[in-house]
Amino acid sequence: MMEKMSEENMEEVRVLEAQIELLQAEVSALLQQQQDNQKDITFNFRGQMQDAMSYMCGKRQGDEKEKVLSRLKEEVEELEEDLKLQTQINGISLNSCTTKTLQSGGRKLVKQLCVSGHCSELVFQVEFKLSEVKEGSGSGSARTISDLNVVMDASDLQSFSSFLSGVEESRDLLLFFRTLRTFSDRCDDRRRTFQHFQEKYPSVVSLRDPEVMTLNHPQLSGCVLFVHWSVDVSREGGVSPKIELLTKIPERALQLFPSQAVGGAAEAFQSLLRILGAEAAVESVIMAVSQDTQLASSSLCSTSY
């Protein structure tokens, strides 16, 4: 009886061993198949990457290469045309734009941006942090600006400094660029007007400051009129030119001019501004100075005898 049970146990062991060998063989076959599949995937991926790099580096010849190059050229030309159009519309040219990722993970992305450029002759640099937070699945994201810092490279920006402080506090980039364009246009108007009169009346007009045009005459040293043309900017972004006439006339010269005309020159100039406009009013003063200096010179010569 014991011998019969021993033979049955031995038979079961042999059956189990046979099943284990079959399972081991099946596992080895599956592992080999997995390795072969990974090799095929790697080979195909590398082949596609090599094809793509060949296109970009110009190693492949034929119609496909020409199509890729032609498409890239068209895209670059379109981008250049868009940039040119935007510059013409807003008058602002960008020289550089750098981006640095400060935080990336989860639902929040924070970047540090630095943008530099110029608007006419005004050079600027804007630095700020841009935070983007995803509000939910498929509902978009919210963007906020923080740590705004604006640096302007110009010598005559006293009236602009208060506005810049307000922009940095409110973090209103749109207001900054819109006001910058208007401010730059008014400064260009002043510069063109001053240069025009300096070229037209070189013996009377001289320029030493962007905001001041000096009117004098070599034969009347010490008698000077100043046209002070400032461009004021409010904290809310309002831009308004302010033109004033200032006088510097010695006592001896005052005796040669009617006191009422000299004393009321500033008020009369403001009336001319309201009636004629800036350029016509300034030219009227220049022509009056030219005529008065000639008359004054003749009077000085007659009193010396």
Q: What is the predicted pLDDT for the residue at 37?
A: 57
Return the number of other C-beta atoms located less than 10 Å from residue 300's C-beta. 14
Please indicate whether residue 170 or residue 298 has the higher confidence score (pLDDT): 170
Confidence check: pLDDT of 76 > 80: no
Query: 218 pLDDT band (50/70/90 cuts)?
Result: low
Q: What is the pLDDT, as a whole number, of residue 103?
A: 84
Average pLDDT, the chain: 76
pLDDT beyond 60 at 268: yes
Distance CA 234, CA 255 (A): 42
* Better-predicted residue by pLDDT, 70 or 277: 277
Can you spell out the DSSP letters for 117-150? Answer: EEETTEEEEEEEEEEEEE-STTS-EEEEEEEEEE
Residue 298: which pLDDT band, with cuts at 50, 70 and 90? very low
Cα–Cα dist 265/225, whole Å: 10
Q: Which residues contact 160 (CB under 8 A, 6 or more apart)?
A: 152, 183, 233
Q: Which of 254, 267, 265 is nearest to 288 (CA)?
A: 265
pLDDT band at 229 (very low <50, low <70, confident <90, very high): very high
206 SS3 class = strand
Residue 147 CB partners (closer than 8 Å, separation 6+): 127, 128, 129
H/E/C letters for each residue in 49-88? HHHHHHHHHCCCCCHHHHHHHHHHHHHHHHHHHHHHHHHH
Question: Rounded mean pLDDT of 45-51?
Answer: 55
pLDDT at 303 over 60: no
Residue 273 has pLDDT above 80, yes or no: yes
Task: Parse the chain into domains and list their residue ranges.
Answer: 89-186, 190-303
pLDDT of 114 reads 92
Residue pLDDT, tens place only, 79-110: 777 767 766 677 788 888 888 888 887 788 88
Is a pLDDT exceeding 70 seen at residue 111?
A: yes
Question: Highest mean pLDDT range out of 12-21, 196-205, 281-290?
Answer: 196-205
> What pLDDT score was predicted for residue 39?
54
Cα separation, 75 vs 70, in Å, equals: 9
255: left (phi over 0), alpha (psi -120 to 50) or beta: alpha
Q: Whole-angstrom Cα distance, residue 74 to residue 304?
A: 79
Average pLDDT (141-146) is 86
